[in-house]
């Protein structure tokens, strides 16, 4: 933690105004607590409402902000998530995996692109609001190698504090190098609040419809089905994400999947009779997978 505090103080010494990118997840709560508990700095919070958050997230954000007497500002993307997916691709498989998948499946009738979804629905709106607030520095809870493969590779060459030319903004990641064990220990020792969805069985606090980690028993799709069944049905049936999931899992073009789904009674029927087939993106599941 000493290193994280040094990173924070050094960054603030070079920037008069800063903000904390706050999602409500474990890492960002730890970051807020470290800054507000162990430093004299009081940057406001910036929360990005992509429209895909857990229903309890907004209230939780406000509760945390109130506990620290922190100002909270809400950013929103320029377009709805469904428009984002239609234009640039569905957020499935993970950033690197989606790129690799698209190289081999360009004729499947749709696109996968986790990176663009993250960028346009979360990152860009937050950074845009950061600059509108007059800040030149944004703190985030990203941990580098503890996150996805591409981010881990970047962490090897980037320092904790980096100026982003494209965004005209300096981003600082004081928790770079922290492990899950370190995060959990800090949360326990300091009795930090937990997002309500943890009690429901969630494994991450992020966009409900992200398929970046939809693998086997840790799948966000499966958890969404159990904790928010109405949201799950809206996604699988209403938005027809079920067709994309089946196409990826069975490695078949979208028109083939639609034909098969129709013969089986449609997405609604499958969601009723065999909902678990939409739980993961890799086939077959590992031994021990349960419905």
CB 92 within 8 A of CB 75: no
**Percent of the chain scoring above 70 in pLDDT:** 89
What pTM, to 2 d.p., does this model score? 0.86
pLDDT tens by residue, 111-132: 999 999 999 999 999 999 999 9
Residue 156 pLDDT exceeds 60:
no
Choice among 31-35, 218-222, 233-237, 281-285 with the minimum mean pLDDT: 281-285
Q: What's the whole-number mean pLDDT along residues 61-74? A: 96
How far CA 14 is from CA of 9, 10, 46, 118, 172, in Å, comes to: 9, 7, 20, 28, 12
In angstroms, the CA 147 to CA 120 distance is 19
Can you list the domains of the chain with their CATH numbers? 2-91+112-205 (3.40.50.620), 214-286 (no CATH)
In angstroms, the CA 111 to CA 92 distance is 10
pLDDT tens by residue, 24-57: 988 999 999 999 999 999 999 999 999 999 999 9
In angstroms, the CA 261 to CA 265 distance is 6
In angstroms, the CA 4 to CA 221 distance is 34
């Amino acid at each position: 933690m000493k290193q994280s505090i040094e990173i924070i103080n050094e960054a603030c010494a070079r920037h008069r105004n800063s903000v904390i990118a706050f999602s409500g997840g474990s890492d960002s709560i730890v970051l807020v607590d470290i800054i507000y508990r162990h430093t004299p700095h009081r940057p406001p919070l910036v929360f990005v409402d992509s429209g895909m958050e857990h229903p309890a997230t907004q209230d939780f954000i406000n509760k945390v902000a109130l506990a620290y007497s922190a100002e909270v500002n809400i950013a929103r993307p320029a377009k709805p998530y469904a428009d984002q997916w239609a234009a640039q691709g569905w957020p499935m498989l993970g950033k690197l995996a989606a790129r690799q998948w698209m190289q081999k499946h360009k004729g499947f009738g749709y696109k996968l692109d986790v990176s663009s979804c993250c960028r346009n629905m979360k990152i860009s709106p937050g950074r845009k609001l950061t600059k509108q607030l007059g800040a030149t520095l944004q703190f985030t809870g990203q941990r580098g190698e503890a996150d996805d493969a591409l981010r881990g590779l970047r962490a090897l060459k980037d320092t904790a504090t980096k100026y982003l030319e494209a965004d005209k903004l300096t981003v600082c990641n004081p928790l770079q190098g922290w492990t899950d064990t370190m995060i959990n220990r800090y949360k326990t020792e300091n009795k930090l609040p937990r997002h309500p969805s943890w009690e429901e069985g969630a494994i991450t606090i992020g966009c409900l419809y992200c398929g970046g980690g939809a693998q086997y028993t840790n799948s966000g799709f499966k958890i969404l089905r159990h904790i928010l069944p109405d949201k799950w049905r809206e996604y699988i049936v209403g938005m027809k994400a079920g067709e994309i999931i089946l196409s990826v899992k069975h490695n078949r073009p979208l028109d083939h999947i639609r034909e098969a789904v129709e013969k089986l009674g449609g997405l609604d029927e499958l969601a009723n009779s065999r909902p678990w087939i939409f739980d993961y993106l890799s086939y077959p599941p590992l031994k021990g997978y349960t419905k």
